[in-house]
A and B are shown apart, each in its own frame.
Chain A
Amino acid sequence: GNSVTQMEGPVTLSEEAFLTINCTYTATGYPSLFWYVQYPGEGLQLLLKATKADDKGSNKGFEATYRKETTSFHLEKGSVQVSDSAVYFCALLYGNNRLAFGKGNQVVVIP
């Protein structure tokens, strides 16, 4: 089937620290991969995406590389800010219209 697994639990870190959120996927075919971010009390916003193997998506200092060999799409940011505190969802698009979401990771950045 098609599914996404994100690392368990919230992530708490200090401002300017390095952030990594792991995401692995299972898919039939060649899905597109996405990271969405949800700020407190708001909707889901597209953060970045990659549509084929070895593509790197990037936005607002965040990056993720589509790794077919390890079926991964880990999210990274070199220096987080308090304003990056949010819930981050990894997702894959399959069948052209279906999104499979991970459970999400809450990121808390402490000043």
Chain B
Amino acid sequence: DAGVIQSPRHEVTEMGQEVTLRCKPISGHNSLFWYRQTMMRGLELLIYFNNNVPIDDSGMPEDRFSAKMPNASFSTLKIQPSEPRDSAVYFCASKRQGAFGNTIYFGEGSWLTVV
């Protein structure tokens, strides 16, 4: 079975440019999460969706960040404009909502460097 699929795996961009990260959750999973990993702050939840609806975006750092989930099989995380401090690994994850204790599965991550 395919896991959570993210693209791009690696991106290097210049400050001020727009960055779009993409995610395809595991088929049948109806909760989707975006996490950010940095050395300083570890793993942080940015936003999560249930049934394509954003439930909690309190972890989104600022207005430069936005996330969408137009359908059950696709989500994007956009940074506009990007800044060097946005350099991090961005993980998408998914879960089957409703069953107690169900596991959250992570993608391979998008490794972003903003120069």
Contact = CB atoms under 8 A, between A and B. Distances in A.
Interface of A: 32, 34, 36, 42-46, 49, 51, 89, 93, 96-99, 101, 103-104
B13 interface: no
Interface-central residue, A46, A96, A104, by most chain B CB under 10 Å = A96
B108 interface: yes
A20 B104 CA distance: 24
Interface-central residue, A36, A44, A96, A98, by most chain B CB under 10 Å = A44
B43 interface: yes
A45 B101 contact: no
B26 to A, nearest CB: 12
Contact of B45 (A43, A89, A98, A103): A98
Interface of B: 31, 33, 42-43, 45, 48, 50, 55, 91, 93, 95, 97, 100-101, 103-109
B42 A44 contact: no
Contact of B107 (A43, A99, A104): A43
Contacts of B103: 34, 46, 49
B57 to A, nearest CB: 13
Contact of A97 (B95, B105, B108, B109): B95
A97 B100 CA distance: 10
Contact of B100 (A44, A46, A51, A98): A51
A43 B50 contact: no
A96 B99 CA distance: 8
A42 B100 contact: no
A27 B106 CA distance: 23
Given A51-B100, A97-B95, A97-B97, A46 B105 contact: yes
A34 B42 CA distance: 16
B42 A51 contact: no
A97 B43 CA distance: 15
B55 A43 contact: no
Nearest to A55: B101
Lowest 3 CB-CB distances: which A-B pairs, in order?
A51-B101, A32-B101, A43-B108
